[in-house]
Amino acid sequence: MARAERRRISSGGPFEARYGYSRALVAGNACWVSGTTDAGPDGRSLHPEDPAGQARAVLMIIEAALHEAGFSRQDVVRVRIFTTNIGHSRAILEALGERLGAVGPAATIVEVRALIEPSLLVEIEADAVRDP
């Protein structure tokens, strides 16, 4: 069985090169988007204290990575959402619904103690699959 060729996608974000990971990885008809935040060049949130704003920005970054990889938001099959305050879940999920509501991917939201930088409130991963 032949191994699917892998292609790495980078957004140029502040943590990718420093910590050695890709924004997204494509293999065959699947794309995995790494945990994504709205961190600016300095690593801090571009929308401090605004979980909905962070979620919207994150989803746009994810969409851009998917587009570069040859996928679209309609290909998203699963999202994992991490937040530092589960009380923000309604605002975050409303932002998710705005971008992916019609797609209806499987989804999980969990509270975590902290993200990589204190101003970051939301981190989202996405998996996408397109028809071969």
Give the CATH number for residue 103. 3.30.1330.40
What pTM, to 2 d.p., does this model score?
0.92
pLDDT digits (tens, 9 = 90+) for 71-121: 999 999 999 999 999 999 999 999 999 999 999 999 999 999 999 999 999
70-83 per-position pLDDT tens digit = 999 999 999 999 99
- Does residue 99 fall inside a structural domain? yes
Q: What mean pLDDT comes out for the span 2-6?
A: 77
Let me know if residue 1 belongs to a domain: no
Domain coverage including residue 80:
6-129
Q: What is the residue-averaged pLDDT of the chain? A: 94
Q: Which of 49, 55, 48, 47 shows the shortest CA–CA distance to 100? A: 55
Is 114 part of a structural domain of the chain?
Answer: yes
Report the DSSP pairing between strands 106-111 and 76-83.
Answer: parallel
Number of domains in the chain: 1
Q: Which two tokens stand for residue 8?
A: 């790495």
